[in-house]
Structure 1
Amino acid sequence: MNSDLPKVLHPIAQAPMLEHAMSAGRALEPERIVVVAGHGAEAVRAAVADIDVSAEVVLQDEQLGTGHAVDQAREALAGFDGDAVVLYGDTPFVSGETITRMIEARAKADLVVLGFEAADPGRYGRLVMDGDSLERIVEFKDASETERAITFCNSGLMACASQLMFELIAEIGNDNAAGEYYLTDLVELARAKGLRVTAVACDEAETLGINSRAELAQADALFQSRARAEALENGVTLMAPETVYFAFDTVVGRDAVIEPNVVFGPGVTVESGALIRAFSHLEGCHVSRGAKVGPYARLRPGAELAEDTHIGNFVEIKNAEIAAGAKVNHLSYVGDASVGEATNIGAGTITCNYDGVMKHRTEIGARSFIGSNTLLVAPVRIGDEAMTASGTVVTKNVDDGDLAISRSAQENKPGRARKLMDMLRAKKARKAKGGA
């Protein structure tokens, strides 16, 4: 990847590849998740803690092949008598349904390998089948012409009883050009013991592996294509589908309308009937039915929009609840705040929530009117049906029904504008003449 970042932490749809793989594995409701980390292990460990605190990370100090990697989980799974499924952190598109089918196939086989029909088999290992029985895995370089004609290829994923897997791994040798321990050798070892081995097929797209920035971009594009198609199928209107960017966990209800060039970050739910207008960016927020957002709006984590709210152009909402029917329509920042129902926030309003050390909260009541260019210096509370005059700096609470005005008295100087402009023009002329 030509990167300091471990490969499995590079993002697809704003989530690390590793998270996609772990999410697929969670379809089984596993008792344990063990992540084997090599390069950049500390970064991987930190990422896993964010993804799933129950997952355990074990270290592979030396990278001696796939069999050696899986063997690092031996101690973590000591005493565990269930099935083990081996997934790869750089193969993010394997579905939970496919993994479930692998486990179901375990009812008739001791070892299950995941395969796929390759459009271009290339240098993939071939799965040599005899009916439902997997006879062997043949690497391309070792395959005969007949075997190279096989299009059923090895993905590398396996399922097996945990303790049996480690028993077989203990017998893997490294007598090969790379001096590595290959997990694929389990098939031959299992067959030699008279064990039943089979393969389950999946769509080739699920086995897409990522080894470069170009492949990462292709994978992200594939994810986006699928997410857009799914949204359209679910009754979401995408006015320009190719311009909408979804995160891995975006949820959009039917009859919602998404205008062009909208970006969804992680943790977004948009309910049915909402409108997200062009060039808006949403992350970690919830948008209720009938709400209108944008254009050019930014919803940050903790933004909660109730039904029929309006968030307009160049408005930013962060860690704030906007109650039903409230409007923040122009050029405003509302952070660490609550806004009551049917309240109107005037253009240029700012909740001053940060004192340089601590964040403070602003509370605005129902059916209030906040005048344009109001500064609300938190912590502060504006009561129900209260008002602030335009340009007001609010530093203390405003009771229900009160009007707050805090600004300097205006003073007009007769004729002073012309005199000032004449003076400035003369100064500019003198400066230009001196420069000549």
Structure 2
Amino acid sequence: MQAKVYLISRTGFAPHEGQTMVFRSRSLSLAAFCGALTLSLPLSTVAQTPDPLGLSIPIVIDFAKDHTPVPYELDHNLLFFNARIGDTPVRVLLDNGAGSSLIDETLARRLGFQTVPLNQSLIAVDGQQRPQVLAQQIPFRIPGQIDTTTAMLVVDLKPISAHFDHPVDVILGSEFFALAIAIDRAAGTIAFAPSGVANIEGATTIPLSADDIIEAEIAGQPVRLALDLGDSGGASLYTDVFARILPDVETVEGQSMGAFGGLHTVRRAQDVPTTLGQLDLIGPVSEVTRLPGKAGVDGRLGSTMFLPFTVVFDRTAGKILLQPIFNAPPTAPVGPMTAGEIRRRWTTLMARPASEIMASQETSLLIDTMMAAAVAYRAKVRESAAAGAPRACPPEQADLSPEDIVARIGAMSEAEQAEDFGVVLGRIFDARYPCPAA
């Protein structure tokens, strides 16, 4: 059985046969998934997480008896939620790639936490090495979830906050991933639980190592990818690995957001087959610079890769649970559409949160319609070429994204927008890709 999950690329559109932006599951029944995420918490549960700083300070976490998932929001495809330090509300970024949790230095100073210098240095947001400073006895609480007193590194987070809609007060780092972290896409909530108690009915299990490494395949080649939820990208390969696995592939430029590096330009190959356990996906793969200390790792898996799924990250249990979400039925039956209708519905869809776009069947419907029209256009181009009068000469990898096509439709007259989308798309490609003069 096939179900479609589109890893939407907004930088390219490839209208040719064999284009299969399709999620394929070898083992799942996807007939009626409605976010069947369950948490089985004991009435009183205490968990201990590892000490990431090597200070032999156990972090003890109390779980609320009336355990209630909390809402999250996405900003540049990174996950944020609200918590409290004492009575002070704070905005938290989830990032397993942070070796330990961080608190903004201005906030730590304002709340008067005792700090101690460490005999270590930290690569700060500006790329400079700075002495590490530790804030102790921080009363951190996620209401309805967990309560703990912990230590965090003190860092100037203002350069990170500048890239987001709201300030970043805390980055919740690797030590909290000793817990099970369940993200319910259909409900838009996140829950922290002891390892082993969060489950998703019918989910696919992806093995996860103790150092957050996932064994995967990209373009049929085995790779070891580091899970990094502080990176807004999807699948990415380090430069040397990218050159080895995808040596001749055509690429486009795009941007990715990293919690510590801000926006950076990446080179991206489109529509590359990627396999995670029993999941086959097709989507973009980016080329990125190898990070220090990442020998033996071929690349990263960022947060965008997991947007189409309800997911449980359970490092202690050595697994990730993934279940695709399809919680929004098509708003109209599949059939011919005018160019104006495509434009109206695509614009409405793109105004929704990224997680809803990924999960929506409206996305599947519109992409299916565009792809069908593009394939039909390609067949007509071949027919005209065989007759000795080619109507156009489009490349195999066109550089028009869905947004480009919708924008061109928006510049047309009402009469043109009332025409069949396939006809209008043909004119757009004819104008964009004329054959060179003889």
Q: TM-score range by the shorter chain?
A: under 0.3
TM-score, normalization by structure 1: 0.23
Higher relative contact order (CA 8 A, sep 6+): 2
TM-score, normalization by structure 2: 0.23
